Amino acid sequence: MKNILEVKNIGKKYQNKEDEIQALKNVNFRIKEGEFVSIIGPSGCGKSTLLSIIAGLEEKTEGEIYIEGEKVSGISPKIGYMLQRDCLLEWRNILSNTLFGLEIKGIKTKENIEYVKELLKKYNLYDFKNKYPSELSGGMRQRVALIRTLAVKPKILLLDEAFSALDYQTRIMVTEDIYSILRKEKITALIVTHDISEGRFQCRHQLKYA
């Protein structure tokens, strides 16, 4: 398998009034296509900062990011990002929520709409397409958020503590559910979490931050 993501010598410094804070220093790793990799560490160790840099949402101080061998800076259409909360829009129904990313990117074509509907059918959400987020369980909401992310056909999915808002039992069920979907859709995933058991689930290896 070829490398789909390469992080080289990434560093990040924050400047405050009195001093400089080194959030990340000399971070290096590679991920091959189809792999699941987790970064495990406590709050405040720089996990989310690293994901934000890879996603192009935050500037790095030093280093380089490569996707499929090409150096990138800024936001890449090949990356999808799932946050801690599902961020569903409560006033839009489920189908409308899953199409939201396509609208933002200006690619809400007939073909892409049909692709989203097929995902909803495939993962047992189509019957709920006219429901609203408040009518769904936490696990179902996370599946909707995932389909919204997959709608734009990313090559790499970044998950930032994506299941931390759920209770423990639901989190276990949703973790298995989500990772099963990612395997079926052949999506490469990079997960950051403070939960060792969650991070170890289905991952090739873990990068442990002190």
For β-strands 62-67 and 3-15, DSSP reports them as: antiparallel
12-64 residue pLDDT tens: 998 877 788 888 999 999 999 888 888 888 878 888 899 999 999 999 999 99
Question: What is the Cα–Cα distance from 150 to 189, expressed in whole angstroms?
Answer: 12
At 166 the three-state DSSP class reads: coil
Question: Which strands sit side by side in the sheet containing 156-160, from one edge to the other?
Answer: 79-82, 156-160, 188-193, 36-40, 205-208
Whole-model pTM: value is 0.83
**pLDDT exceeding 70 applies to what percent of the chain?**
85
pLDDT number for residue 163: 65
pLDDT number for residue 158: 93
CA dihedral sign of residues 141, 144, 148, 154: positive
Question: What is the Cα–Cα distance from 201 to 77, expressed in whole angstroms?
Answer: 27
- Structure tokens belonging to residue 83: 């946050």
Q: What pLDDT band is residue 185 in, cutting at 50, 70 and 90?
A: confident
CA of residue 11 relative to chain centroid, distance: 21
Q: Is the pLDDT of residue 197 over 70?
A: no
Burial group, residue 204, by CB count within 10 angstroms (0-12, 13-18, 19+): exposed
At 140 the three-state DSSP class reads: helix
